[in-house]
Amino acid sequence: MKRSIIVSIILIMSVTVATAQTEKEIKAEIKHVTVFPDRAQIDHETTFSLLPGKSVLKLSGLSPYIDVQSIQVKGYGEFTILSVNHQNNYLQNLEDSPEVKSIRSQIDELQIKVADENAAINVLKQKEAFLTANNAVLVKTTTFSLEQFKNFMDLYTNNMEQIAMTSLKKDRLIKDYNKQISALQKQIADKLGKQQLPSGEILVSVTTEKQVTGKLTFSYVVANAGWYPSYDIRVDDIKNPVAIFYKANVYQNSGVEWKDVKLSFSNATPWVAGDIPVLNTWFVDFYSPATIRIRGLASAAKRSEAPVMMEKGVSENALEAKDLEASPVSVQKQVGETTITFDIAIPYTVPSDGKVQTVEIQRITAPADYKYVTMPKLSPLAYLTANIADWAKLSLQTGEATLYFENSFVGKSTLNVNQLKDTLTISLGTDNSILVKREKRKDFTSKKVIGANRTDTFSFLLTIRNNKSNMVKITLNDQIPVSSNSDINVDPIESSGGKIDRQSGEIKWEFEIKPQETKQVILTYSVKYPKDKTVILE
Angle at the Cα of 94 from the Cα atoms of 90 and 97, rounded to 5 degrees: 125
In the structure, what pLDDT confidence band is assigned to residue 17 with cuts at 50, 70 and 90? very low
Angle at the Cα of 427 from the Cα atoms of 425 and 430, rounded to 5 degrees: 150
Same domain, yes or no: 320 and 171? yes
C-alpha–C-alpha distance, residues 384 and 434, integer Å: 10
Span 294-321, mean pLDDT?
37
In a domain, 26, yes or no: yes
Same domain, yes or no: 412 and 464? no
Of the ranges 1-10, 136-145, 196-205, which is most confident? 196-205
In the structure, what pLDDT confidence band is assigned to residue 13 with cuts at 50, 70 and 90? very low
In a domain, 102, yes or no: no
In a domain, 337, yes or no: yes
Q: Name the residue with higher pLDDT: 276 or 494.
A: 494
Domain endpoint, select from 423, 456, 486 = 423
Q: Name the residue with higher pLDDT: 325 or 128.
A: 128
Give the lowest-confidence range in 82-96, 132-146, 265-279, 448-462. Answer: 132-146
Are 90 and 250 within 8 A, CB to CB?
no
Same domain, yes or no: 87 and 152? no
In a domain, 289, yes or no: yes
**Residues in Cβ contact with 157 at an 8 Å cutoff, skipping those fewer than 6 apart:** 294, 295, 296, 297, 300
Q: State how many domains the chain has.
A: 3
495-532: b (≥16 Cβ within 10 Å) or e = beebebbeebbbbbbebebeeeeebebebbbbbbbeee
Same domain, yes or no: 138 and 176? yes
- Per the structure, the complete domain to which residue 494 belongs is given by 434-530
Burial of 14 (0-12, 13-18, 19+ CB in 10 A): exposed
In a domain, 445, yes or no: yes
What is the bridge-based pairing of β-strands 53-62 and 23-26? parallel
Same domain, yes or no: 439 and 495? yes
Span 396-417, mean pLDDT?
83
Same domain, yes or no: 300 and 165? yes
If we measure between CA atoms, which residue out of 78, 109, 372 comes closest to residue 211?
78
- pLDDT tens figures, 470-511: 899 999 999 999 988 888 999 999 999 999 998 889 999 999
C-alpha–C-alpha distance, residues 328 and 183, integer Å: 30
Q: What is the pLDDT of residue 292?
A: 34
Q: Where residue 475 sits, what CATH number does that domain have?
A: 2.60.40
289-315: b (≥16 Cβ within 10 Å) or e = eeeeeeeebbebbbebeebbebeeeee
Q: What is the pLDDT of residue 171?
A: 85
Single-letter code of the amino acid located at 107: I
Same domain, yes or no: 201 and 251? no
Same domain, yes or no: 315 and 348? yes
In a domain, 267, yes or no: no
Mean pLDDT across the chain: 80
Q: What is the pLDDT of residue 39?
A: 93
C-alpha–C-alpha distance, residues 253 and 196, integer Å: 13
Same domain, yes or no: 55 and 159? no
- Angle, nearest 10°, between helix axes 146-191 and 98-141? 160
Q: Is the pTM of this model over 0.75?
A: no
Helices within 238-375 (DSSP H only): 298-305
If we measure between CA atoms, which residue out of 473, 471, 478, 472 comes closest to residue 492?
478
In a domain, 121, yes or no: no
Helices within 192-321 (DSSP H only): 298-305
Please list the residues that pair with 423 across neighbouring strands: 389
Same domain, yes or no: 325 and 468? no
Span 347-358, mean pLDDT?
90
In a domain, 451, yes or no: yes
- pLDDT tens figures, 411-434: 888 777 776 677 888 888 788 889
Same domain, yes or no: 352 and 411? yes
C-alpha–C-alpha distance, residues 513 and 470, integer Å: 9
**Strand ranges of the sheet holding 382-389, from the earlier edge strand across to the other edge:** 423-430, 382-389, 369-374, 472-479, 506-513, 499-500
Of the ranges 101-105, 268-272, 360-364, 387-391, which is most confident? 360-364
Please tell me whether residue 114 adopts helix, strand or coil conformation. helix
Same domain, yes or no: 138 and 204? no
C-alpha–C-alpha distance, residues 175 and 113, integer Å: 11
- pLDDT tens figures, 46-77: 999 989 999 999 998 899 999 999 999 999 99
Q: What is the pLDDT of residue 250?
A: 94
C-alpha–C-alpha distance, residues 486 and 267, integer Å: 53
